[in-house]
Each structure stands twice: as C-alpha cells, then as structure tokens.
Structure 1
Amino acid sequence: MKKSILALVAIVLIVSCNKKESKGNLQITGNVKGLKEGTLYIQKVVDTSLVAIDTIKIDGNSHFESNIDLKSPEMLYLFLDRGVSNSLDNNLMFFAEPGIINIETNLDGFLSGAKITGSKNHELYEDYKKTTSRYKDENLNLIEQKFKAIKRKDPKAIDSLNQLQDLNTKRKYLFAVNFAMNNKDHEIAPYIALSEVYDINIKYLDTIKNAMTPKVAKSLYGKKLTEYVNTLKKAN
C-alpha cells in the first residue's frame, strides 16, 4: 500500500514538473552578445500600442529564454532597454509561430546583426524585406534627383521624376500582392496585406482574402484581413 502511494506521488510530481516546463507553445531562446546588464521585453501589439508579454532581466549572462502561449502566429518585438534611450534601434521585429525560435544578435548591431531562425513566416518576411529594400532605395534616389531638379528649377525633370516615383510605388505594391498570393498558406500573407498595401484597390485585398487557406483564414491576421475587407465593402 505504501509503495502504491509513493508511486502515485511520484507520478503527480512528474506531471506537475512537465506542466511547469511547458509554459507555452512558443519557446524563444537567444543571445545578445556583449550585453552584460539590461532588460529585454517580449512585446506584442494590442490595439495600437506595444504591450510587454514577458520581461527578461540580463545580469552577467547575455543568453536568454522565454516561454509564451501563442494563440496564433503573429509579429512580436524584442525590445532592449539599455537604460539610456527608447530608440527604434532597440526594437527587433520577428514573426513568431509555435515551436522554438532562436534570436542571435549583438549589442552594437541589435537590429542589423540579428539572425532569427525557427520560424518559416519570419524566413518569408526576411525574403520580402530583401526585395522591397530595392524599391525603398530607388525611391530615395528619385527623391534626391527631384530635390536637385527643384533647386535648379527644372519642371520637366520634376514631372518625369514624379512619374518614375509613381511607377516605383506601383511596382512595390504589385510585388506585395504577388508575394501574399504566392504565400497564401502562411500567415505572412494577410500580414503583408494589412501592413504594406492596406490602401490598395479593394479588389486586390479581396483576392488575397479569398486565396487564403482555411488555416490562414482562421489565424489572427487572416481574421483581421477578412474583417477589414468586409468593412471596406460596406463603406463603398
């Protein structure tokens, strides 16, 4: 009898330990090389504000870990409180999804030196940014040329550069739409629609909405896109 009771107690302890270890369906591990002391916050957007969902104190060891219960894949933010400023350079975006995600970065290049692995949605987001950075660079180049044309009072050149800017914007928007369509089975698709081309013609947003797989349509951003498109249709 005594052995049975001890066995039962052991089973209860094992179960409770397992529950403690798996606090959520997302495990975030990482390292901020060079960080000796500071605070890291895992944040998410609630309404229009960033809200901390976990706080990690760094004291001597730059490695960190966080366990979160993620209801649906979504964009999270790793914010580094250096105790000096709240610069945007301290906020690292990463597209989280259930599983294990690893974030390797360093104190000097917190954003530029970051390497994030373990999330297919984030991998796709990085691919998206690589291409769209070309459109941003082109736009900056055109702005510079237009500034010079304005300075020398050349209306013909200004008009031509305005047309080139419009064309560049259209190309960027069409790329975003095609990217979302090509990745309709990932939550990145409705996210791109909502964050990058929310003001495009409704027919494109509707096309992305209708192309989403059932799993993506039920996700956080899938539901938001459906709601947004339906609202636009009612307004028209």
Structure 2
Amino acid sequence: MKQYILPILFLGTMLFISCDKKEVNGNLTINGKVEGLKQGVLYLHKIQDTTIVTLDSIVVKGDSNFSRQFNIDSPEMYYLTLDRGSSNSMDNELMFFAEPGTITIETTLKKFYSDAKVTGSKNNDIYKEYLKTRSAITDRQNELIIDIIKAENQNALHQKDSLMALSKKMVARKYLNAVNFALNHKNSDVSPYIALMDLYDRQIKYLDTINNSLTLEVKNGHYGKLLEAFIKERKDSENQPIATDNQSE
C-alpha cells in the first residue's frame, strides 16, 4: 500500500515564505497586546499547501499594542509567534482560528501561550472546547502510564495487564471523542480541521462520515476542501493493488 500524503504537515517540516504585499484593508482585523513586551518582533503565519507563509511581521518598540488587517476567504488556523531575541524560552507561539470579523489577542511576555486570551472568533471558541475534552483524556492516559510503570516495578503483573487494557480503551476513547466532537459541530470549520489533524490515520469510514455531515458552507471552506481532497487521495492510495514479486520484476 502506498503512503498517502497528509495535506497539513507538521510545522517543523515546512519551508517559510514571506508575503511581500501587506493588505491595507480586509475583512479580518486582528488587534493585540503583549503585556510586558517592550522590544521584539511578532510574526503572523498560516499554512499554505506545505509551506508556512508569513503574513506579517510586527516590530515592537515600547508600545506592545498592535493592529493588522487581512483578507480571509474562510476560517483558518493562524499562528502568532514571538521573537524574544536572545531569550531561549520555548513559550513563543500560540495558534488561533482566524475568521472574518475582529479578533482580539491579549497575552503576556512572561507566559505568551498560557496567558493568551483570544476573543471574537466563534471557531476558536469551539476549538478550545475540543482541546479541553481531548486534554481530559490525555491527562488520564498519562496517569495510566505512571501507574503501569509502578505496577511493573512492583512486579504486579496482573495489575499491569489490567492497566494496559484500560490504556488501550483510552486511546480508542480519544479518537471516538474526536469523531463525536466533529460530528456535533458539522457547521463549524473546526470539524474538518479535527478530521485532518487528529483522525487522518484512522479508518476512512470515520473521515467519510464527518465529511458527509458537513454543511455546504463548511464543505466549501478551506479545511472542508482539504478534507475532501485528502479522502480521495487516501481512497486512491488504498485501492492500489499490492505489487507482487512477479509484478516488480
């Protein structure tokens, strides 16, 4: 079976391209403030095909407030990153669902990600809700891993087997949670985004079910189109005959 290509790749594998032309007017306004930031550079990125595109760079010198306008066709995940200069902090990036309208981002220099408050985006609110449901399951999985290690160290094999069986159920629960959340939010662009990011390697029937449930507006959006194309690519790839020794000669 040939490997299919995930339409949204991990950030670390992508190239960066800057947009030379900045939009003066647009249907999306992003207002923001980074409390405590006196000097530095903020960057707004999005993923286009397999490339991270820099939409704008914001040089901060004294005033930590900023405002930018862009044109956006449909809701899409954006990334706001902070260049701290000589600092080695890993807390330099936050992601948010951008959509037409006015979005406000308020955060702090000290805790750029964890202190971030994003308002004005319904899709971002929905995605945050999804992350909470996923986090609850992930936290339980981490607890189980610790318990499994303890049981192994104590040579409690029966207890270890029970914990491992429960851990497998939690994995299934995490994927089921993603499917159910996507189906329950079929009128949000978050739905196809979840399918692409968290369910891309699951059985194709789950992706099909989500795709078929989407409203027409979401289907015609950025991630709706990507999901449709991805499902087709997977089906084409998985229907390819497996080469035998005689065929390869």
Query: Aligned pairs, how many?
Result: 217
SS of the aligned residue for 2:91 comes to helix
* 1:127-166 paired onto structure 2 within 5 Å: 127-166=129-168
Q: Which amino acid aligns with 2:118?
A: I
- Say which structure, 1 or 2, has more relative contact order (CA 8 Å, 6+ apart): 2
Q: Deviations over 1:41-77 (max 9, x none)?
A: 0011234443311000100001011111222211100
Could you tell me how far apart the structure 1 residues matched to 2:165 and 2:23 are? 58
Distance (Å, rounded) in 2 between the aligned partners of 1:86 and 1:185: 40
Partner of 2:39: 37
Deviations 1:137-184 (A, max 9, x none): 101101111111222233322222221111111111111111111111
- What amino acid is the match of 1:63? N
Q: Is the 8 A contact 2:178 2:194 kept in 1?
A: yes
Q: 2:25·2:70 contact (CA, 8 Å) conserved in 1?
A: yes
Distance change in 2, residues 1:212/1:87 (3 Å): farther
Larger Rg: 1
Out of 224-233 and 45-54, give the one that drifted further: 45-54
Secondary structure at 1:31 match in 2: strand
Give 1 or 2: higher helix fraction.
1
**Deviations along 1:125-146, whole A, 9 cap, x unmatched?**
1111111111111011011111
Deviation of residue 85 (structure 1)?
4.7
Paired with 1:130 and 1:124, the residues of 2 have a C-alpha distance of 10
TM-score, normalising length: structure 1: 0.87
From 57, 60, 63, the equivalent of 2:59 is: 57
The structure 1 segments of at least 4 consecutive aligned residues displaced by more than 4 Å after TM superposition are 85-88
Unaligned runs of 5+ in 2: 1-21, 240-249
Is structure 2 residue 94 aligned with structure 1 residue 103?
no
Counterpart of 1:169 in structure 2 is: 171
Amino acid corresponding to residue 61 of structure 2 in structure 1: D
TM-score (structure 2 length as normaliser): 0.82
Query: What is the CA distance between 1:209 and its match in structure 2?
Result: 0.4
Query: What is aligned with 2:5?
Result: none
Q: CA RMSD in A?
A: 1.7
Code of the aligned partner of 1:126: K
**1: CA distance between counterparts of 2:89 and 2:191?**
29
SS in 2 for 1:54: strand
Shift of 1:113: 0.8
